[in-house]
Amino acid sequence: MPDHDVIVVGAGPVGLLTACLMIQKGLDVVVCEKHSGQDPRTRAIGIHPPGLDALDEAGLGQRVRAEALALKGGDVLSRGRMLASVDFAEERRIMILPQRRTGTLLRERLAHLAPGALRLGCSAISARDEGDFARLTVETGGVRHELTASLLIASDGVRSSLRDGLGVPWRTQAGAATYAMLDAPDASADDRARLHCEPGGLVECFPLTDGTRRWVVRESESDGSLDEVDAFRTAIRERIGVELAPPPGARPIVFRAAQHRAGRTVIGRIVLLGDSAHEVSPIGGQGMNLGWVAARRLADAVGDLGIATAADLREVERRNARTARRVQRRARFYMSMGAPVEGIALGARERVIRTLGSPPLQQRMAALITMARL
């Protein structure tokens, strides 16, 4: 007999949600997380409607709604002109909540459902499918030992050591660029996102729950690196004429947005989920939600009886791969709309955005942004 029904590796938002969904089905679940504390980095902020549906199923939807800022819509501008304005239906709004808080709520829910299920400081070393069960080698306090489960879920991130150890290809997909982001005080207190698709590159800003805005700037060759606050402020001022006032000591975070997909996500009794299975550009804010959609499908396939058949897992793999391809195509399109461009190409891009924001297509554009029909 395996030690557990399910082992989840990685206590990020996807791993935690997966564990909660599985426990609610009456399964014995443990979560192995190599870090002893929560990730302090500034990361995802957007919870899209499909992600909120998954949180509802895990019993967290109402708490998220109570704390989050409901984004009512977004405006797309270029060269000082409004190109498109989209409003979200009340039931399809994007909830803005920093990932740190989302992670805290998920940990609290997990602790309520199964005290002791989360094992911090437990590093996954290797995994192996044994046919009827999966075997995981872990290290805790410098001591290695093995755990077994009917199902092993690898949700250990983009640089997944388990995926690499299993020999699963990590295939590059189209869409890559470098961005810098910084949170700064916001006196407007509105609830709309603004995307400036400028000749020099994208500048976008989103309202946050604490009276600040998150600013994201795409680097261009003329900018150089935007990792210094003066360079970041200069890029915003030159592109959109806004004089940003960051808090003292603030420094932009520079990141490379890229897209990848695992060559396969089901290896016998081992399933790759979240960023272990697919890396999606954060431009568009869909990666975390994509992982939640995949986790919900897996939990439904496992069901209350405890384990899915091989055919069930292959169907989950097929559907999740199709959804990942769709989301990556959308993210690639969003990135192209924010690339540095001039002349005829700039005019053509502005016409495309105007067309997408026109009354006949506004609802479709809103549906794409909010991850409808996945």
Tell me the pLDDT tens digit for each residue of 301-325: 998 656 667 788 999 999 999 999 9
* Strand bridging mode 278-279 / 212-218: unpaired
* Strand bridging mode 170-185 / 253-262: antiparallel
Question: Where is average pLDDT lowest: 122-131, 147-156, 276-285?
Answer: 276-285
Answer yes or no: do 232 and 273 share one domain.
no
Comparison of pLDDT for 169 and 211, the residue scoring more? 169
Answer yes or no: do 238 and 141 share one domain.
no
Whole-number pLDDT of residue 36: 86
Other C-beta atoms closer than 10 Å to the C-beta of 300 total 14
Whole-number pLDDT of residue 3: 95
Q: Is the pLDDT of residue 29 over 80?
A: yes
Answer yes or no: do 145 and 284 share one domain.
yes
Answer yes or no: do 153 and 272 share one domain.
yes
Domain count, the chain: 2
Answer yes or no: do 225 and 100 share one domain.
no
Confidence of residue 42 (pLDDT cuts 50, 70, 90): low
Q: Provide mean pLDDT across the span 202-209.
A: 95
Question: Where is average pLDDT lowest: 80-94, 180-194, 296-310, 349-363?
Answer: 296-310
Judge whether 77 and 194 are in contact, CB under 8 Å. Answer: yes
Whole-number pLDDT of residue 352: 96
Answer yes or no: do 45 and 56 share one domain.
yes
Q: Provide mean pLDDT across the span 169-177.
A: 95
Question: Where is average pLDDT lowest: 116-120, 220-224, 300-304, 306-310?
Answer: 306-310
Enumerate residues 6+ apart whose C-beta is below 8 A from 186: 205, 207, 208, 211, 212, 213
Q: Provide mean pLDDT across the span 285-306.
A: 89
Residue 345 lies in a domain: yes
CATH code of 104's domain? 3.50.50.60
Whole-number pLDDT of residue 225: 84
Q: Is the pLDDT of residue 368 over 90?
A: no
Answer yes or no: do 236 and 165 share one domain.
no
Q: Is the pLDDT of residue 276 over 80?
A: yes
Which residues face 73 on adjacent strands? 87, 192
Give me the domain span that covers residue 352: 174-256+339-369
Residue 234 lies in a domain: yes
Judge whether 175 and 335 are in contact, CB under 8 Å. Answer: yes
**Is the alpha carbon torsion for 188, 191, 193, 194 positive or negative?**
negative
Whole-number pLDDT of residue 82: 97
Whole-number pLDDT of residue 43: 76
For residue range 236-270, list pLDDT tens digits in order. 999 999 999 999 999 999 999 999 999 999 999 99
Backbone angles phi, psi at 39, to 5 degrees: -65, 120
Residue 16 lies in a domain: yes
Answer yes or no: do 152 and 226 share one domain.
no
Residue 221 lies in a domain: yes
Residue 77 lies in a domain: no
- Alpha carbons within 13 angstroms on the beta-carbon side of residue 275 total 21
Q: Is the pLDDT of residue 40 over 70?
A: no
Residue 85 lies in a domain: no
Judge whether 242 and 184 are in contact, CB under 8 Å. Answer: no
Average pLDDT, the chain: 93
Answer yes or no: do 188 and 246 share one domain.
yes
Residue 353 lies in a domain: yes
Residue 81 lies in a domain: no
CATH code of 234's domain? 3.30.70.2450
Answer yes or no: do 325 and 347 share one domain.
no
DSSP state of 368: H
Answer yes or no: do 30 and 62 share one domain.
yes
Answer yes or no: do 291 and 323 share one domain.
yes
Backbone angles phi, psi at 177, to 5 degrees: -170, 165
